[in-house]
Structure 1
Amino acid sequence: MPSVDRRRLLIRAAALAAGAMAPAGWTTAWARTRLPENPFRLGVASGEPAPDGVVLWTRLAVDPAAPAGGMPPEPFEVGWEVAEDEALRRIVRRGRTIAAPEAGHSVHVEAAGLKPDRPYWYRFTAGGHASPVARTRTAPSPGADVRRLRIAYGSCQKYESGFYSAHAALAADDPDLVVFLGDYIYEKAATADGVRRHPEEDCLDLASYRRRYAWYKADADLQAAHACAPWMVMWDDHEVSNDYGNDQDRSDPDPALFLKRRAAAYQAYFENMPLRAAVRPMGPDMRLYRATDWGRLARLALLDDRQYRGPRPCDAQSRGKFIPKACPERTDPARSMLGADQEAWLQAGLRDTSATWNLLGQQTLMMEIVTPDGRVSNDGWDGYAQTRRRILETWRDAGTANPVVLGGDVHCFFAADLALEPGGKPVASEFVGGSIASLGRSKEIVRGMLALHPDLKFGEGDIRGYGRVDITPDACRVTFRGVENALVKDSPVRNLAAFVVEAGETGLKRA
């Protein structure tokens, strides 16, 4: 029987073979040009802003609930255009491409030749229909003297658990950039709980993952958030399977079979996100960690803490998420949450950055959290304590300017200072931006966490929402924005709390 590595190579080979049938292999002569129904039911999006361009995305679907989005198994010609004005009178770039069934009828246009640090508007046409007009923007030139940046960030949008009022408010906040930190979909079958339902199937193969994304993307508030600004995205676990890491989840599947599932999940993720062709997955492998600069003002590094991590520590003795803090495996320097290559990439970037603000986008809560009975989670940074310590030491020793961590995953708002030892001198500050819809923790649990951890300055688990970051050369201001009631459609959103980190000083303050 082939080894896991051998099976992984076979899966990659199959993906390469499928690449011969990717959209680039089609010509417009083979593509249908008419559709009786609107194919832009999943909206449009942009992402990966650069000084000279941006990725434009759409995926054709006439019926989000139907297999393959209700699309015939044929290629379709798609037109696109970019303008300097919302009315699309000053067109600066246009072109045509193919939406092929082998790529889920998705389109990723890398629009280039644009001017830095300015807004643009774009739309697609296909089958005799036009998409909505959406706004994007380019990043500033390298080294540009940028005076402001607004980022909206969020995570964890379980469709069943609530409506997406947070996305509607996020769009109204007029961000320059949206950062999504994982759990864009949830992979389990529908349940009887919640206020609305997604498909009644577990996501296990490409068809089911595609259908789940279509179901989520049909939401009008999510489409509005995608249409307001370019996105930078990172996955967490539910884009594949709950609490997965590398080639395992908590059900202990056969690694080769799990890698096949992961390959399907990664392919669906790529098809549904505004990502560049350079990160297209090869079977179960997809390099998604990366960094982007916003002139001299800020650098944002996004980490993948799922794909490369070592096995969960002390898993055999606990068979659950929480393990004794004294577990020796979790402090083993040889173990990494990021993998050797990604960790080396990150360390180099932390040392050579010239940005005034250095943001680290990662999926979860980075500071150590210990339960009253002395346990920690083995699914996050606490299970890989030396990886966290190495990052903190590099920030300190390299003098990295103004490090700030953005996080998600835990379905709570948290603000914390990060130190090498509890109660020690802060090295960085951390802000976890709640969850868009997924349910959180009770007030009692959050109050207990605050009482046990003096470095944890704020916590809120009952309210859904997102974070907003306003950066200037002098300060980084973070505002937590909360939905009044995520179980009610179009619920109002208000400010929950605000914090400031001043340039050149460590430690957060209430604003």
Structure 2
Amino acid sequence: MHSPSRRHLLGLTAAAASIGLAPAVWTRAAAQARAGENPFRLGVASGEPLPDGVVLWTRLSTDPRALSGLGPQAFDVAWEIAEDDGFRRVVGKGETKARAADGHAVHVEVAGLRPGREYWYRFNSGGHASPVGRTRTTPERGAQVDHLRIAYGSCQKWETGYYAAHRHLAADNPDLVLFLGDYIYEGALGREEVLRPHPDVAARDLDSYRQRYAWYKQDADLQAAHAAAPWVVMWDDHEVSNDYGGDADRTPATPGQFLRRRADAYRAYWENMPLRRDAHPDGAKMRLYRSLDWGRLARLAVVDDRQYRGARTCRAVEEKKRIPYDCPERLDPKRSLLGEDQEKWLAGRIADSQAQWNLLGQQTLMGELRLQEGKVSNDGWDGYPATRRRILETWRDAKVANPIALGGDVHCFFAGELSVERGQPPIATEFVGGSISSLGETNANLNAARFVNPHLKYAEGEVRGYGRVDLTPKGGTVTFRGVNGLDKGSPVRDLATFVVENGKAGVVRA
């Protein structure tokens, strides 16, 4: 499943745009771009793979730092997809428009491909060729599959560190990349040490969100990770506003004011991610929860824990997101982190799964994190424990095979066990994949937290990085990969590797 094309992928950086001009058949993508300026400075990406198709993405920009983008003009963009990286066996091609209304982003939904194989793709506009990306289709539904590799990460604050993790993630040659939120940070520059600045203002409207994405996407290592494999993405809070949930964040904005901001943020998110047309936002609404099957080997369900959640609980006694563990409001079974419709959808995807491995991609630490002073955070699952309990009971009652939760958000690596009640045998295993560059927690504090939460078997907060999941019919492994997040040229090392035993939940260190 992992081909010798890896040599090709290691060279994918922003400089890859210097490949030769496209063949004459592309000439209808006329020379509209500003003379001599490369419009592919934000790279290419693919996502949402199916057995017969995939989404190809790019966004035209000659100056990623400009607030105004490319202005009101539309541009012709040609695309092609091939079975080889030399484009000798082209299996699809076409033309589309990059329109100002979409931030000059292009989403091409390619169909008619063969299941379970690699493809290479590229774009051309104004006589400029884009970098070449690699993608792949999923295996046929029900197919027997011998391996799946997923690289997953989250939290890539631009100003606090470089993206060495993405460079190594690309070199790991994953079949699929799962990104679990905080792709951008919306705020002005913070109090942390600024290694590389962006505009010192908060993104609050469509133009400023578009600019923030372009600022991030100019990074060569992030472009390499996007070009290495198809992505499945989910947002967290910073794609909109810190700690937001439902129709409110932590600012004094009214619900109407906040929803207008959320609509702009959702629009910019869709424009900048390799998503399908049916995910296009309707104002401040955008359905992003979905699932993906990898033959009979694995099912990945990805949930949205921001858009539909109930209001934060126990606010009268809230202090720095911390609330008393025994707050009665917190335990209300009517409260939901996911909303009623999404919970029903997830229960159905769990109950009807025939997959050997059942993965839940969710934004944060799913397991309980009780603090030493008898408090929990109200910004995640601990603020909505009834939702967590219902999911665990559904896994248990449906006798679903090998449930594994993958998470991000907390800027730390965690490996833990998930049970309906403390002290009971685990129903599922959880692995939180650290952060790409956002600063974390001291290990001294994490060790103290583990003492109070014995179901957390591993914790590391001082190292940046990502997680890697390798699944086979016989078993699986999860590897935490660490870099020095402050160093652009950092090497990578394995922090810890865990064996995932077929048919048995629990954390087992390799």
TM-score using structure 1 length: 0.93
> For 1:446 and 1:268, how far apart are their aligned partners in 2?
35
2:384 alignment partner, SS class:
helix
1:43 and 1:131 in contact (8 A); partners too: yes
Query: 1:165 aligns to what?
Result: 164
Q: Distance in 1 between matches of 2:316 and 2:123?
A: 51
Looking at structure 1, the residues matched to 165 and 297 of structure 2 have their Cα atoms a distance apart, in angstroms, of 27
CA drift of 1:453 comes to: 1.3
Name the SS of the counterpart of 1:256 in structure 2.
helix
**Are the aligned partners of 2:166 and 2:224 in contact in 1 as well (CA < 8 Å)?**
yes
What secondary structure sits across from 1:214 in the alignment? helix
- 1:144: how far off? 0.4
Structure 1: give runs of 5+ residues left out of the alignment. Answer: 1-27
In structure 1, the residue matched to 2:50 is: 50
Query: What residue number does 1:117 align with?
Result: 116
| 2:57 and 2:274 in contact (8 A); partners too | yes
Instruction: Give secondary structure in 2 for the equivalent of 1:382.
Output: helix
Do the aligned partners of 1:30 and 1:75 also contact (CA within 8 Å) in 2? Answer: no
Matched residue type, 2:271: E
Task: Name the aligned partner's letter for residue 45 of structure 1.
Answer: A
**Which residue pairs with 1:268 in the alignment?**
268
Structure 1: distance between partners of 2:486 and 2:435: 13
Structure 1 Cα separation of the partners of residues 324 and 51 of structure 2: 48
Is the 2:105–2:272 contact (alpha carbons within 8 Å) kept by the matching residues of 1? Answer: yes
**What pairs up with 1:283-432 in 2 under 5 angstroms?**
283-318=283-318, 320-432=320-432
Structure 2 CA distance for aligned equivalents of residues 449 and 500 of structure 1: 24
Q: Answer yes or no: is the 8 Å Cα contact 1:159–1:437 preserved in 2.
A: yes
Q: 1:251 to 1:175 in 2, by over 3 A?
A: same
Instruction: State the 1:253 CA deviation.
Output: 1.7
Letter in 2 for 1:183: D
Query: Percent same amino acid among aligned pairs?
Result: 64
Q: Aligned equivalents of 2:309 and 2:252: distance in 1?
A: 16
Secondary structure of the residue aligned to 1:147 is coil
Which letter does structure 2 place at the counterpart of 1:352?
A: D
Q: CA deviation at 1:489?
A: 1.2
Distance 1:105 1:316 in 2: 45
Distance 1:87 1:67 in 2: 36
The Cα shift of 1:443 comes to 1.4
What does residue 135 of structure 1 align with?
A: 134
2:17 corresponds to which residue?
A: none
Aligned mates of 1:31, 1:103 — CA distance in 2: 20
Correspondence 1:8-87 to 2 at 5 A: 33-36=32-35, 37-69=37-69, 71-87=70-86
Q: Aligned residue for 1:8?
A: none
Query: Residues of 2 paired with 1:359 and 1:373: CA distance?
Result: 33
> Deviations for 1:418-465, whole angstroms, at most 9, x for unmatched residues?
011122100000000000000000111111011111110000000000
Report the secondary structure of 2:222's partner residue: helix
Kept in 2, the 8 Å contact 1:191–1:197? The answer is no
Alignment of 1:89-128 (within 5 A): 89-128=88-127
State the Cα distance separating 1:319 from its structure 2 match.
5.0
Deviation at 1:100, TM superposition (A): 0.2
Query: Does 2:500 correspond to 1:501?
Result: yes
Deviations for 1:278-321, whole angstroms, at most 9, x for unmatched residues? 01001000000000000000000000000000001101331530
1:146 maps to which residue?
Answer: 145
The 2-side partners of 1:31 and 1:245 are apart by 44
CA offsets 1:37-87 (integer angstroms, 9 cap, x no match): 100000000000000010000000000001233x13200000000001001
Q: 1 CA distance for matches of 2:330 and 2:343? A: 17
TM-score normalised by length of structure 2: 0.93
8 Å contact kept, 1:142–1:293:
yes
Deviations 1:202-248 (A, max 9, x none): 11000000000000000000000000000000000000000000011
Find the aligned partners of 1:437 and 1:194 in 2 and give their Cα distance.
12
Count of matched residue positions in the alignment of Structure 1 and Structure 2: 482
Asked whether the equivalents of residues 68 and 104 of structure 1 are also in contact (C-alpha less than 8 Å), the reply is no
1:471 equivalent in structure 2: 471
Q: Give the Cα separation in 2 of the matches to 1:329 and 1:88.
A: 60
Q: How much has 1:30 moved relative to structure 2?
A: 12
8 Å contact kept, 1:31–1:98: no
* 1:192-271 aligned within 5 A: 193-271=193-271
Distance 2:505 2:236 in 1: 28
Deviation of residue 487 (structure 1)?
1.1
Q: How does 1:429-508 map to 2 (within 5 A)?
A: 429-483=429-483, 485-508=484-507
SS at match of 1:68: coil
Q: CA offsets per residue over residues 341-397 of structure 1, 9 Å max, x none?
A: 000000111111000000000000011111111000000000000000000001011
Structure 2: give runs of 5+ residues left out of the alignment: 1-26
Whether the aligned pair in 2 keeps the contact of 1:31 and 1:75 (CA below 8 Å) is no
CA distance in 2, matches of 1:319, 1:55: 43
Q: Match of 2:7? A: none
Deviation string 1:186-207 (CA, Å, 9 cap, x unpaired) is: 0001246221111221110000
Q: Indicate if the aligned counterparts of 1:434 and 1:466 stay in contact, CA closer than 8 A.
A: yes
- Bigger mean CA offset, 186-195 vs 126-135: 186-195
Q: 1:47 touches 1:230 (CA, 8 Å); kept in 2?
A: yes
SS of match in other structure, 1:439: coil
In 1, the alpha carbon distance for the partners of 2:126 and 2:435 equals 37
Residues 64 and 346 of structure 1: is their aligned pair in 2 closer, same or farther, counting only changes over 3 Å? same
Distance in 2 (CA, whole Å) between partners of 1:453 and 1:159 is: 32
Using a 3 Å threshold, how does the CA distance of structure 1 residues 369 and 191 change in structure 2: closer, same or farther? closer
Equivalents in 2 of 1:487, 1:145: separation in Å? Answer: 42
> Could you tell me which amino acid in structure 2 is paired with residue 381 of structure 1?
W
Match of 2:184 in 1: 185
CA contact (8 A) 2:29 2:124 kept: no
Listed one character per residue, the Cα deviations across residues 6-41 of structure 1 (whole Å, up to 9, x for unaligned) are xxxxxxxxxxxxxxxxxxxxxx99987343110000
The aligned residue for residue 10 of structure 1 is none
Please tell me the root mean square deviation across aligned C-alpha atoms, in Å.
1.3
Preserved CA contact (<8 Å) 1:151 1:179: yes
Given that 1:242 and 1:249 are in contact with CA atoms closer than 8 Å, whether structure 2 keeps it comes out as yes
Residue identity opposite 1:108 in structure 2:
H
